């Protein structure tokens, strides 16, 4: 059997690509899930197909109602919609292929970065990256293509740049131009690729010959500076980076021209897109029924420096833990999945200890120029944008945020494995057994966990139901579970299934409000659900159940008049006059402006024998609803009972003037004329 270390490197590339595709083959038959709705199914610009491309590239149309501009990613969705419509299979297949390319690109990047390392250990990094379960959110969720394309283009940009930097190729100016172009594509896919620019100077330093080439290191800093100017929409930063870049890299006029052209791409692109599209959006969608602020990021609720620092450090520790122990994996870290930690909390201290150890190894790696150093640097630069240090992000944390940083983690782990194997044994066979024996087990475990986690992403309901057990204190998760259960209850064929999912909706939304009582969108939707169930029970004759739903709605939101009004109507139906008068009074006091409320209230008082109050309510009704006939007819009835036939006739005529066919008014007029003994006139109204 041929040694694993003697396999041709070209086969390693095939292995890296296949390793990325294989774990996600079971997602091909999945539906559109989670944020796919916002980006594709509910996005009119995306569903316009190729006709929507001009708007995609000139307006922040990635997610409706959000200032998010990711035109390259959205263009791929529009293209797929044009040719495949709402069929999710091609979208999932494309995600799988792009992720395979990401694994292959990471292998190529690792070979450039670690030229003195065995290719098998670089392949190990690519395989671990490919099978790591933390990537399921990005690959199994079609919307995750923004992360995939951003990663792919930024890794290719670094690979191209560092390859020609290491070889000191005469084509370097072309390579720089290509790298800048790829970086721009990465940022047009998703903004977070900007963190790879921070890695660029470190990569140049690492790939330069012994002693380093200071002009190139400085030049890479200028490139990073210029691209940051593009990313943050500061054209003067991008433009000012042209001149020093030309002189730092080459003194030949031709090279200066190429570099000048390369950097002119930045301000020109900036000018075109800024005028039409507006700035990038740092906010990310975390679900359907969420609200901004503390519901998505608990740090918005941190009180004082201790809680802010403690929670920030604990979040970094959680990110690191997920890389080593990716369980449980959840799609939402809304309130209160990851609670506030004070600085004295053990999790904060343990996380701080881990970060200090990483800092020590970072310093030690720089001194000894250990290969795993560059993996650690790539991880730290990648995670920096989500560290909550520079500004609060939209989410407390998210597993998709680890997609780019995990590449650095995988490279660092592979280089540590190589260092250990070289220390413990010098023979190739030992290194091979070490690699297969010690690395093979976690790879198999990760592979199995990834396939299992993919099953959760089959549709919205499986995603919510299968993970809710890990999110018992997550208000956002329960809000979304209720949303999906309600959708399935409406679509279900059998009454039993409808009832089962509707009950789960009640339970989920009630639990969300227990966790976060101020969750207004859930409160409104639960209130409306109570009202909808009341309507169904009322129409089908289940009146006690209908009354119970209304009382539950009142307990949930006593400021809303709708439930009081409906409860008053139900009482009126069963001639519970006192209760009807009370409920209508409550509804009117809360802003109910429906003539029926005044009419039933007045009738209830009349039925209770309180003629004066009934007459007063009727007068208020005439004042508020002058075009409605019922209040004139009701006043005519009071006048008839009081023996004032002239007034009864007058109000009766006013009622009929507004509605000639209004039967109660016709009955009053008949009685009036019969009381007067005018039989001919009474006959007209019979």
Q: How high is the pLDDT of residue 432?
A: 60
| pLDDT higher than 70, residue 142 | yes
**275's tokens:** 């005028």
Residue 642: the pLDDT is 79
CA distance 332 to 297: 11
Average pLDDT over residues 46-70: 85
CA angle 104, 105, 111 (to 5 degrees): 95
**Rounded CA separation 182/157 (Å):** 5
More confident: 36 or 250:
36
Q: Is the pLDDT of residue 426 over 70?
A: no
Confidence of residue 276 (pLDDT cuts 50, 70, 90): very low
Percent of the chain with pLDDT over 90: 33
Name which of 145, 142, 221 is nearest 186 in CA terms: 145
Mean pLDDT of the chain: 81
Q: Among residues of the chain, what percentage have pLDDT more than 70?
A: 82
What is the arithmetic mean of pLDDT over 157-176?
73
* Better-predicted residue by pLDDT, 680 or 42: 42
∠ at Cα 306 (301, 311), nearest 5°?
Answer: 60
- Average pLDDT on 563-586 reads 90
Q: 99 falls in which pLDDT band (50, 70, 90)? A: very high
- Cβ–Cβ < 8 Å for 298, 254: no
- Specify the pLDDT at position 664: 83
pLDDT (tens digit per residue) in 11-29: 889 999 999 999 999 999 9
Sign of CA dihedral 176, 180, 186, 189: negative
- φ/ψ (deg, to 5) at 179: -65, -45
| pLDDT confidence tier of residue 314, bands split at 50, 70 and 90 | very high
Buried b (16+ CB within 10 A) or exposed e, 654-678: bbbebbeebebbbbbbbbbbeeeee
H helices of 516-662, in order, are 520-539, 543-556, 561-573, 577-589, 595-607, 611-624, 630-641, 645-658
Please state, in angstroms and rounded to a whole number, the distance separating the CA atoms of residues 235 and 230.
Answer: 6
Model confidence over 532-569: pLDDT tens digits? 888 888 888 888 888 898 998 898 888 889 999 999 99
Please report where in the chains the tokens 């802003």 appear, as a residue: 591
The predicted pLDDT at position 231 comes to 47
Q: Is 480 left (phi over 0), alpha (psi -120 to 50) or beta?
A: alpha
The reported pLDDT for the residue numbered 353 is: 93
pLDDT greater than 60 at residue 294: yes
For the segment 657-677, the average pLDDT, to the nearest whole number, is 84
Using pLDDT thresholds of 50, 70 and 90, give the confidence band for residue 638.
Answer: confident
Q: How confident is the model at residue 388 (pLDDT cuts 50, 70, 90)?
A: confident
Top pLDDT among 370 and 469 is at 469
CA-to-CA distance for 638 and 618, rounded, in angstroms? 10
Residue 120 scores a pLDDT above 70: yes
Whole-model pTM: value is 0.81
Comparing 407 with 278, the larger pLDDT belongs to 407
CA–CA dist 382, 403 (Å, integer)? 9
Q: Return the pLDDT at 435.
A: 65
Token pair for residue 533?
């169930």
Between the ranges 67-71, 217-221, 330-334, 660-664, where is the mean pLDDT highest? 330-334
Give the integer Cα–Cα distance in Å for 158 and 442. Answer: 28
């Amino acid at each position: 059997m041929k040694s694993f270390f003697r396999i041709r490197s070209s086969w390693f590339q095939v292995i890296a690509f296949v390793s990325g595709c294989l774990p996600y083959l079971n997602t091909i038959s999945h539906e559109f899930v989670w944020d796919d709705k916002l980006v594709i199914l509910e996005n009119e610009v995306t569903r316009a197909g190729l006709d929507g491309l001009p708007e995609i590239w000139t307006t922040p149309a990635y997610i409706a109602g959000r200032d998010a501009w990711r035109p390259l990613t959205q263009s791929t969705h529009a293209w797929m919609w044009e040719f495949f419509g709402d069929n999710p299979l091609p979208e999932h297949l494309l995600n799988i292929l792009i992720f395979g390319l990401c694994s292959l690109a990471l292998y190529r990047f690792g070979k450039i970065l670690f030229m003195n390392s065995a290719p098998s250990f670089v392949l190990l990094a690519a395989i671990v990256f490919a099978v790591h379960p933390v990537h399921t959110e990005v690959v199994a969720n079609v919307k995750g293509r923004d992360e995939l394309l951003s990663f792919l283009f930024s890794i290719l940009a670094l690979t191209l740049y560092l390859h020609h930097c290491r070889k000191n190729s005469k084509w370097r100016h072309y390579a720089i131009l290509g790298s800048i172009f790829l970086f721009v594509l990465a940022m047009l896919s998703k903004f977070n690729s900007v963190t790879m620019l921070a890695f660029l100077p470190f990569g140049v330093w690492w790939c330069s010959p012994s002693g380093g080439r200071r002009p190139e290191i400085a030049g890479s800093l200028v490139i990073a500076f210029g691209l940051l100017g593009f990313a943050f929409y500061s054209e003067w930063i991008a433009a000012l980076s042209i001149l020093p870049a030309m002189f730092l890299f080459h003194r030949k006029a031709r090279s200066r021209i190429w570099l000048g052209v390369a950097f002119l791409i930045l301000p020109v692109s900036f000018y075109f897109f800024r005028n039409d599209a507006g700035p990038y959006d740092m906010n990310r969608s975390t679900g359907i029924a969420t609200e901004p602020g503390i519901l998505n990021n608990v740090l918005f609720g941190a009180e004082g420096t201790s809680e802010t620092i403690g929670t920030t450090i604990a979040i970094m520790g959680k990110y690191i833990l997920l890389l080593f122990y990716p369980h449980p994996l959840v799609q939402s870290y809304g309130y209160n999945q990851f609670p506030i930690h004070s600085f004295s909390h053990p999790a904060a201290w343990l996380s701080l200890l881990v970060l200090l150890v990483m800092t020590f190894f970072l310093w030690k790696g720089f001194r000894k120029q250990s290969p795993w150093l560059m993996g650690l640097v790539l991880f730290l630069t990648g995670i920096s944008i989500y560290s909550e240090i520079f500004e609060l992000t939209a989410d407390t944390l998210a597993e998709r945020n680890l997609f780019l940083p995990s590449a650095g983690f995988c490279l660092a782990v592979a280089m540590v494995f190589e260092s250990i194997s070289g220390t413990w044994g010098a023979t190739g066979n030992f290194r091979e057994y070490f690699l297969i024996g010690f690395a093979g087990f976690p790879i198999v475990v990760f592979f199995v966990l990834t396939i299992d986690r993919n099953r959760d992403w089959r549709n919205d309901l499986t995603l919510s139901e299968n993970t809710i057990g890990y999110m018992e204190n997550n208000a956002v998760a329960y809000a979304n579970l209720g949303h999906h259960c309600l959708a399935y209850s409406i679509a279900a064929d059998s009454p039993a299934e409808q009832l089962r999912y509707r009950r789960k909706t009640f339970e989920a939304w009630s639990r969300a409000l227990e966790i976060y009582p101020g969750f207004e969108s859930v409160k409104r939707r639960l209130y409306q659900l109570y009202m909808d169930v009341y309507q169904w029970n009322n129409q089908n004759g289940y009146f006690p159940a209908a009354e119970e739903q209304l009382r539950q709605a009142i307990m949930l939101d006593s400021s809303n008049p709708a439930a009081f009004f409906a409860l008053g109507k139900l009482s009126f139906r069963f001639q519970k006059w006192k209760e009807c008068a009370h409920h209508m009074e409550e509804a009117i006091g809360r802003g109910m402006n429906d003539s029926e409320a005044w009419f039933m209230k007045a009738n209830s008082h009349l039925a209770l024998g309180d003629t004066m109050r009934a007459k007063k309510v009727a007068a208020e009704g005439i004042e508020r609803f002058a075009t409605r006939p019922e209040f004139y007819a009701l006043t005519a009835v009071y006048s008839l009972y009081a023996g004032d036939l002239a007034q009864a006739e007058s109000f009766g005529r006013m009622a009929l003037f507004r509605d000639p066919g209004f039967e109660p008014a016709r009955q009053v007029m008949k009685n009036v004329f019969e009381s007067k003994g005018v039989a001919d006139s009474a006959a007209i109204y019979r």
